[in-house]
Chains A and B, each alone.
Chain A
Amino acid sequence: MPDFFAPKLDPLHPQRHLDALDTPFGKRSVYDSVSYCTRCGSCQQACPTYLLTAQETFSPRGRNQLVRLAAEGKLNLKKNRQLAEKTLNTCLLCGRCTQACAGKIPTAEHMLELRRTLQSRALPRLLFGLLSLHGSHPRLFSAWVKTGLWLRRLGVVTLMRRCGLTRLAGLQWVNHADDILPDAPDRPQRTAWKQKDVLLQQEPTLIYLPSLEADFFMPSVALSTLTLVEQKKHRVQIWHNTASGLFEYVYGDIRQSRRLLRRLINRRAQTAGGSLPLLTDSIDVYLFLRRSPQLFTDWPRWRAKAEELAKSVLFVTDVWPRARLTQPDKETRVRLDASALFTREGAPFDKAHKILQTQFKKNFVECLYKDADTPAFGYSFVRQNLHHKICMSAVQGIARTQTGTVFTLSGLSALELNFYLKRFYPLAQADHLTRLNG
């Protein structure tokens, strides 16, 4: 046995952290996991922020070493808090580094652990507070979103922007949210999506957990997903306005994330025999739920339940029909924007790739090694300047390959990318993969 003591990042507050990470090579403590970085640098050229800055401080290798030095007590984080936060919060958590890494070092997880140690607030305070309501007070959250959308339709947000109110400290995110959110969703679609509640099945065979964006802003994504599962003869129960705990896992308190997961597990257990598969349209939620057992390492009973949940989670590619969906447009070139949290490897990515390849054949554009993707899950609200540059690189890649449609694996990524495409390359558009179903 090694004769060293494995230090912890935050020994005084173990409950704020993961006890161990589930890696492809078994359970590892954060310190152990980060120590597997051999500093070979294979990850560097995969990291969007390193490609932009050419600085070790904004590279996966640098970030991992930061965690290691902090754990070993060789770097005083309190003294260097501001810079440490900058290094941490610039990380996209995209997992491209993990994909390039020989040892599959989960850099994104290390970043989250260090964020938790620093109690770092990556999102603007007001936005964080409002989005936190989704988990803690879903009804209030729903009312808030609906009111916000209503006010936006009335032109209040536009007025605020014109008056310069959104330039005030803590309100700048409103500008970006207003930019990326679609104009009022198509009324028939909204109505159809609402009516789906009425169609709630008595004996469901599948639970659909719509992402926040599909639930509130992009009914077309939700409807397309439902069409997919209905083609598979599933009877679907929709869990509207249900938080998975991902938001809290990434931006908030991991204890709240655990609470929400437990709630989800219990609710599933009480639904139709307790063994229904759970479908989501967001790759981020899918990947989070798949790795949810690592939140319960210290609670064997809950871990077993979380493992069961993880096994039951489906992404839209898992319910994809075998037949080709529609006649592809022979002129349009398409590509896949594999923007996601934590990783770029695994079945959903391979399947999505295969679906587009089968559907579009020669018109499917393979992405190159360094082609940029849209940063995922709210990064634009964390580091808007870097987000802008990365999105511009993505748009350049799309324009260079004369791509007409970019398919994403989450609604939010499609919204973000569409905003940039509309402004800088209007010949292309972004959409969620599920919309391929019409």
Chain B
Amino acid sequence: MHIPPAALRQLQHTVGKDNILTDDISLSLYAYDCSLSRTRPDALINLPSEESISPVLRILHQYAIPFVPRAAATNHAGSCSALNGGVILNTAGLNRILQINTREGYALVQTGVITGDLQDKLAPLGFFYAPDPASERVCTLGGNLAQNASGARCMKYGGTIDHILEADFVLPDGTEMHFSRRDIGPDWIGLLAGSEGTLGLIKRMKVKILPAAKHIKTFLVTFPSLADSVQTVSDLAAQGIIPRCVEAMDQVTTRAVEAFAHAGYPTNAQALLILELDGTPAQIEREEKQLEGICLHNHAQQFIPAKTEAERQKLWFGRRAAYAAMARLAPNVMVGDGTVPRSELPRALEKVRRILDENHIYASLLFHAGDGNFHPQIVFDERHKPETVRVTRAIKEILQACVDCGGTISGEHGIGVEKRAVMAYQYDTPTLDLFTHIKHAADPLGIANPLKLIPLDYASRTREPAALPPALQQLSDQLKTCRQAHTPLIPAGANTRLHANTRTLSTHTLCRIVDIDKTNYTATAEAGVLLKDLTTALRGKNVFCALPDGPGTLGGAFASGCVPDFYPDVLGIEALLPDGSYIRYGGKLMKNAAGYHLTRLFAGSQGTLGIITRLTFKIFATPVARAEARRFQPAVSNPLWEALKKQLDPDGLFPALEGGMDA
């Protein structure tokens, strides 16, 4: 795309002549990231300050010039390539840590701050930032949020999405927005997580910091099979032990690591787990005994605790060297990223190994066993065309196998352009339509990182959505009638919070607890299930959840915004949209970075975006702290929400709430 001279002049005036580069070399060197994707932008803008972001975006919007935010460009999905040409916005220079507040537990950072730099600043203060992507030494916090990155500590602490308290964000038209976890309404920060710059540009963040664990113990455990290692992790969860980290490797990886890093890994075992416990010494000691018992029960061959800090560092050195060990074998390493329900991991890994063998591909398998997230590391030479074709085909088949196992095509790397086509395999048309609506709401001109995340012409390639069950069909028919009659209505559960004059549409017919899965530690229930019935049923099965044991329904607690601490536990959602379409997102997956985070969009949406029909959420083997239920308040609108409402519900079928009563 050609950049109009007038736009160039205005941009030069805004950021300075030196910060706009259009020479061949600069453009060629901003054409790539860590993926295979390569496309040249038309210009590069080095953003000199946070203040320049909004004016720059306003100019780009005025001239409808596409832009791609780019910081360290370490992602594996091709999220940073300028597919439509346009402008690359280099945010790497916005790298200042503005404030660290240990009393209140946060750090205020610019978007380009390197994650490892923040860790280095926090360590002497006795604090840490929990998300730890493998590339933390080079990736940026803004990039982490945009890709919803996570790492080895995700099982216990969650991913980036759970550690951002506030975010300053600029929409593609230059509108500045401030989102906070304290806001009533949808979890907008959650929506930004994994949005890959398609909704705008992250400017500044307030991230949660935690006191560093004083006592940590690491173990190396070997198993005769991958299935045994995965079963061990499931058994740990069943016993209520949530390790700080659970990392697993197959034999190919351990052999490659040993050849390179000499970390002391036994190379005769088929699978290897690195487990790490933290807490008080007494707690660690207690859990260690349980851990050893569980490992031995699952046929562990060796159970080796790291006796000294040096030994612990050596174990982690090996894990961190896994990429390096493969990178030296061939010019390219493609790191796949799929997530399946934990119980499906052995089956998924078996399928993956078969696909790799069938395609004659050499790869190692690494996985965050606690989350069901695995990374095949495929070595190949991209200059060798037939080999590259085989690898891309195998990656596609692997991702499809993940979906077939009830999983997702991305756990933490994002979609970008590399996995875009497979999105049509994972999601049905209504869900992808919703993604498109979200994109259009934030970016009506389609200039923010265009052609990413959402597949092209997906309608013909998606699978047929499953038929709706009778109760849902009935609800859908009611919705249709109201829409035709132009009668606004408000979805309601047990009517514990609402006090509205508008007609309500009750979800009381959706009252089934669909599934309590003690393998994956998830429960699925319909939205109209009463909280007290739900908690009783869970207790009956000897499992627990973070929901308060109060009045109201599951859907009401989630949609009203009264229990925000419950949001991170919600893994999957199904909902009926104002146009009558039915969307399905997530499931028994501990993490999902494929597409916009719909669970967070509907959380606290107060029935304005659709009717939540079913939720899948985490349950625990031991009692957990109940999420605090706060007073119900009608949500405050913002330009993004209004735009989204216009997209999803142009007739105003679901109006915003006015007033309410105590929860």
Contacts and interface: CB of A to CB of B under 8 A. Distances in A.
A103 B324 contact: yes
A3 B385 contact: yes
Interface stretch (B20-28, B192-200, B239-247, B534-542): B20-28
Interface residues of B, number: 45
B381 interface: yes
B30 interface: yes
Interface stretch (A79-87, A290-298, A305-313, A424-432): A79-87
B383 interface: yes
B24 A76 contact: yes
A36 B26 CA distance: 21
B25 A66 contact: yes
B441 interface: no
A102 B328 contact: yes
Contacts of B33: 39
Chain A contact-residue range equals 35 or more
A332 interface: no
A144 B330 CA distance: 50
Interface in A12-68: 24-25, 32, 35-42, 44-45, 54-57, 62, 65-66
B26 A104 contact: no
A299 B657 CA distance: 84
Contact of B327 (A40, A55, A62, A87): A40
Interface in B452-503: none
B331 interface: yes
B317 to A, nearest CB: 13
B74 A40 contact: yes
A40 B34 contact: yes
A20 B332 CA distance: 20
Given A102-B324, A368-B120, A44 B138 contact: yes
B328 A57 contact: no
A36 B330 CA distance: 7
B335 to A, nearest CB: 9
A104 B324 CA distance: 9
Interface string A171-194: 000000000000000000000000
A345 to B, nearest CB: 13
Interface in A262-288: none
A36 to B, nearest CB: 5
A48 B381 CA distance: 30
Chain A residues touching B, majority SS: loop
B384 A38 contact: no
B137 A42 contact: yes
B114 A55 contact: no
B23 A40 contact: no
Contacts of B384: 2-4
Contacts of B221: none
Interface string A416-427: 000000000000
B137 A80 contact: no
B436 interface: no
B262 to A, nearest CB: 15
Contact of B72 (A41, A75, A79, A80): A41
B559 to A, nearest CB: 41
Contacts of A56: 26, 29-30, 73, 90
A74 interface: yes
Given A2-B381, A3-B385, A55 B90 contact: yes
Given A35-B383, A41-B34, A54 B90 contact: yes
Interface in B329-384: 330-333, 381-384
Contacts of B324: 102-103
Contacts of B567: none
Nearest to A56: B29
A104 B92 contact: no
Nearest to A75: B28
Contacts of B321: 102
B138 A45 contact: yes
B151 to A, nearest CB: 15
Contacts of B73: 39, 41, 56
Contacts of A102: 321, 323-325, 327-328
Contacts of A2: 381, 383-384, 387
A42 B331 contact: no
A102 B333 CA distance: 11
Residue among B24, B117, B332 with the highest chain A CB neighbour number at 10 A? B24
A369 B137 contact: yes
Contacts of B225: none
B406 interface: no
B68 to A, nearest CB: 13
A69 interface: yes
Contacts of A103: 324, 327-328
B190 interface: no
Contacts of A100: 137
Contacts of A42: 135, 137-138
B346 to A, nearest CB: 29
B386 A44 contact: no
Contacts of B34: 38-41
Contacts of B67: none
A45 B30 contact: no
Nearest to B88: A56
Given A35-B381, A42-B135, A44-B138, A83 B331 contact: no
B373 to A, nearest CB: 19
The 10 closest A-B pairs by CB, nearest first: A102-B324, A102-B327, A54-B92, A54-B93, A41-B74, A62-B29, A2-B384, A35-B331, A103-B327, A56-B29
7 contacts: A2-B384, A45-B137, A62-B29, A74-B28, A80-B24, A102-B324, A369-B120
Given A35-B383, A41-B34, 7 more contacts: A39-B73, A40-B327, A41-B74, A42-B138, A45-B116, A56-B73, A75-B25
